[in-house]
Amino acid sequence: MNRRDVLLTTAAAAAGALLPREAGAEGPAGPTPALRLGTRRSADRGHANHGWLDTRHTFSFAGYHDPRWMGFRALRVINEDRVEPGQGFGWHPHQDMEILTYVLAGALEHGDSLGHGSVIVPGEVQRMSAGTGIRHREMNPSATEGVHFLQIWILPDRRGVAPSYAQKAFPLAERTGTLRLLASRDGREGSVTIHQDANVLAGVVPPGTRLVWRPPPGRHLWIQVARGDVTASGVPLAPGDGAFSSDPGDLVLVGGREAAEVLLFDLA
């Protein structure tokens, strides 16, 4: 997958991924080291409850500021938002930012100054390149059901691009027992394009399933657990937890008691 080794066993192997291979196996350069991870625990994130919006901030955002957590490489924002029925974010501007929205439950209605209007549901990814400037609104169209989603901001590799919009479905079957590419600079494998040397992947890791991701040299990884529990290179992670590394080595994900939904950011 994407010229990297995605090493899978158990259910992942049955999903038609690459042939399984044990992490740490001898290769041309000897054994692959285990990846050392730092953690950003869910309970330590910024939190605000505005009544209509319950939000948690992995990195500094709005009224939450922590100079230790201003982002990771080009990854600037991971907000976990829960919006009450019939509520939402009114019209507001953005500029020079790549914005991804990943819905976990419910539906999110989008409108923007480019004339786009859509509803984003679980299994879909929305990408908005704010570029020279864009205005948009995000509303929960349901009268009875809340919406739960992640909003991700990635700094672009250049300023002043033309604003643009994309939305694409990534079925559950394509994300289960593997890591599916959602966003990339060149739009390969059907991913949405972003203006940055970054790859955003998502996977659902069933209990007991083992996935191994081997990044190329010099890359930096952030893992965000959207729900469920997973062990990442020996580190237990719960919903809302993040983990990161700039070291070489294999990232080994092992599903826990319930299926875990994870996002992986592969960054320059």
What is the reported pTM?
Answer: 0.89
What digits encode the pLDDT tens for the residues 3-18?
A: 333 333 333 322 222 2
Q: Let me know: does 238 contact 193? Beta carbons within 8 Å.
A: no
Give the C-alpha separation, 181 to 100, whole Å: 13
DSSP conformation letters of 65-105: --TT-S-BTTEEEEEEEEE-TT-EEEEEEE-S-EEEEEEEE
Give the C-alpha separation, 256 to 268, whole Å: 29
DSSP β-ladder status, 117-120 and 124-129: unpaired
Percentage of residues in the chain having pLDDT higher than 70: 88
Residue 14 contacts by C-beta under 8 Å, 6 or more apart in sequence?
177
Give the C-alpha separation, 71 to 260, whole Å: 24
Residue that is written with structure tokens 């984003």 in the block: 120
Tell whether the model's pLDDT for residue 198 goes beyond 90: yes
Give the C-alpha separation, 28 to 170, whole Å: 35
With CA atoms as reference, report the closest residue to 128 among 68, 86, 77: 77
Q: What is the Cβ-side half-sphere exposure of residue 246, based on CA atoms within 13 angstroms?
A: 3
What is the 8-class DSSP label of residue 43?
G
What digits encode the pLDDT tens for the residues 81-106?
A: 999 999 999 999 999 999 999 999 99
Mean pLDDT score across all residues of the chain? 90
Specify the pLDDT at position 19. Answer: 21
Residue that is written with structure tokens 């320059």 in the block: 268
Structure tokens at 96: 């020079």
pLDDT tier for residue 31 given thresholds of 50, 70 and 90: low
Average pLDDT over residues 205-222: 95
Tell whether the model's pLDDT for residue 156 goes beyond 60: yes
In whole angstroms, what separates CA 67 from the centre of its chain?
22
Which structural domain range is residue 16 located in? Answer: 5-267
DSSP conformation letters of 165-202: EEEEE--HHHHBTS-EEEEESS-GGGPEE-SSSEEEEE
pLDDT tier for residue 28 given thresholds of 50, 70 and 90: very low
Q: In this structure, what CATH number is given to the domain that contains residue 119?
A: 2.60.120.10
Give the C-alpha separation, 99 to 154, whole Å: 6
DSSP β-ladder status, 251-255 and 260-267: unpaired
Structural domain count of the chain: 1
In the sheet that holds 180-184, the strands lie side by side as 38-40, 242-245, 220-227, 260-267, 198-205, 180-184, 192-193
Average pLDDT over residues 208-218: 94
DSSP β-ladder status, 192-193 and 180-184: parallel
What digits encode the pLDDT tens for the residues 224-239?
A: 999 999 999 999 999 9
